[in-house]
């Protein structure tokens, strides 16, 4: 509930949202001081293996996981010993850990790690720089990709890639908690090497930040579901960074979304909650449907009764993007 309120404050343009953003500005100032002081006193570590980071400037879904999954086949052709490293957000394991699909669950390693591990060797750790050293010793990788970590100054990246949601942009362009920004947008954009904009450029991101991005490599992508809804009547639920994007994707691909139920990002569902959603759907002659990430957080005996939407990200000039990523 609280997360949904903040999303409205950050991305809606009504007077209510603007009022609360202003009220939170003193806290944003404290965040600014803490963040940039920490950055100033943090030393970068250079590693023997090339490091590429896929990151965000703002809180909330940008399509990062789906974009990286769409690029993996081509990246693995050039870098067959590629490893993905992420925090394993909301998982109980904090040390360096190789994801094991047979034994790990979303409770231990997080949902995103399970999604990646279906395609490539995946590690999690709450301390990325320590994990990189250990992974290099164990795996001798030819490339380590960081899912998130753009703000982690302890790691010297060979390539920084930022994902932007073209439909939402950077919201009200304010730092947390007044806005969704993890750091000042203009400074973050200068640090980036490649910018990928997912979805329509409805917020005119390119025009707003043309001075900061004019020398950057910019690519556009769009969300493409792997199957058509065929006018199914559905109950849609999700716990991702941008639930509304999931609901809109369903609606634009011939799903009749008659009931929408949003949950907080990375929400851990109980069996009782899922059974309740299934019962509600059946009572109203609806098909329950969720995202590929969410299905990883649902117990095996119940996920069989729920559909999930598989998507891919189609990127214009994809071959050029792969070349730019691997041009060190």
pLDDT tens-digit series, residues 191-209? 999 999 998 876 788 888 9
Strands 287-291 and 307-309, bridge-based pairing: parallel
Q: Is 199 helix (H, G, I), strand (E, B) or coil?
A: coil
Q: Other CB atoms closer than 10 Å to residue 40's CB: what's the count?
A: 8
Distance CA 35, CA 182 (A): 9
CA 28 to chain centre: 23
CB 301 within 8 A of CB 274: no
Radius of gyration for the chain, computed over Cα atoms and rounded to the nearest angstrom: 20
Q: What is the pTM of this model?
A: 0.94
Query: What are phi and psi for residue 208, nearest 5 degrees?
Result: -65, -35
Distance CA 96, CA 94 (A): 7
CB 295 within 8 A of CB 306: yes
Q: Is 168 helix (H, G, I), strand (E, B) or coil?
A: coil
Give all domains of the chain, ordered by start, each with its CATH number: 51-223+316-325 (3.40.50.300), 227-309 (3.40.50)
Residue 263's nearest CA partner among 227, 236, 288 is 236
Q: Other CB atoms closer than 10 Å to residue 115's CB: what's the count?
A: 21
Helix ranges restricted to H, the chain: 2-11, 15-23, 25-40, 64-78, 106-109, 111-117, 128-139, 185-191, 205-208, 210-213, 243-251, 271-283, 292-295, 300-303, 318-325
Which residues, in sequence order, are CB contacts of 296 under 8 Å at separation 6+? 106, 111, 114, 115
Whether the upstream peptide bond of residue 59 has omega within 30° of 0, thus cis, is: no
Distance CA 217, CA 326 (A): 13
How confident is the prediction along the chain (328 residues), in pLDDT tens digits per residue?
677 789 889 999 899 899 999 999 999 999 999 999 999 999 999 999 999 999 999 998 899 999 999 999 999 999 999 999 999 999 999 999 999 999 999 999 999 999 999 999 999 999 999 999 999 999 999 999 999 999 999 999 999 999 999 988 999 999 999 999 999 999 999 999 999 999 887 678 888 899 999 899 999 999 999 999 999 999 999 999 999 999 999 999 999 999 999 999 999 999 999 999 999 999 999 999 999 999 999 999 999 999 999 999 999 999 999 999 999 8
Distance CA 176, CA 58 (A): 9
Whether the CA torsion 108, 114, 117, 123 is positive or negative: it is negative
Structure confidence at residue 1 (pLDDT): 66
Q: Which residues pair with 311 in a beta bridge?
A: 225
DSSP calls for 105-147: -HHHH-HHHHHHHTTS-EEE-S-HHHHHHHHHHHH--SEEEEE
């Amino acid at each position: 509930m609280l997360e949904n309120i903040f999303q409205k404050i950050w991305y809606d343009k009504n007077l209510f949202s603007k009022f609360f953003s202003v009220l939170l500005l003193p806290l944003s100032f404290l965040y600014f001081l803490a963040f940039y002081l920490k950055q100033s006193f943090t030393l970068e570590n250079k590693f023997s293996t090339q490091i590429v980071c896929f990151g965000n400037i703002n809180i909330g879904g940008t399509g990062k996981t789906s974009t990286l999954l769409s690029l993996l086949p081509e990246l693995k052709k050039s870098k067959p010993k590629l490893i993905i490293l992420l925090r394993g957000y909301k998982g109980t394991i904090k040390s360096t850990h190789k994801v094991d699909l047979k034994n790990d669950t979303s409770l231990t390693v997080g949902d995103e790690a399970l999604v990646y591990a279906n395609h490539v060797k995946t590690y999690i750790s709450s301390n990325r720089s320590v994990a990189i050293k250990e992974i290099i010793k164990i795996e001798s990788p030819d490339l380590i990709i960081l899912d998130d970590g753009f703000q982690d100054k302890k790691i010297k990246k060979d390539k920084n890639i930022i994902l932007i949601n073209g439909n939402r942009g950077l919201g009200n362009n304010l730092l947390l908690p007044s806005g969704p920004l993890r750091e000042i947008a203009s400074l973050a954009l200068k640090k980036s090497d490649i910018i990928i904009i997912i979805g329509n450029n409805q917020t005119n991101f390119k025009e707003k930040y043309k001075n900061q991005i004019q020398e950057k490599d910019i690519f556009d992508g769009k969300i493409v579901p792997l199957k058509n809804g065929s006018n199914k009547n559905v109950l849609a639920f999700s716990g991702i960074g941008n639930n509304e994007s999931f609901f809109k994707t369903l609606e634009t691909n011939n799903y009749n979304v008659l009931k929408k139920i949003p949950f907080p990002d990375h929400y851990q569902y109980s069996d009782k909650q899922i059974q309740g959603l299934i019962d509600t759907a059946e009572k109203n002659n609806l098909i329950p449907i969720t995202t590929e990430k969410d299905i990883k957080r649902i117990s095996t005996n119940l996920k069989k009764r729920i559909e999930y939407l598989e998507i891919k990200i189609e990127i214009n000039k994809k071959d050029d993007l792969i070349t730019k990523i691997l041009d060190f």
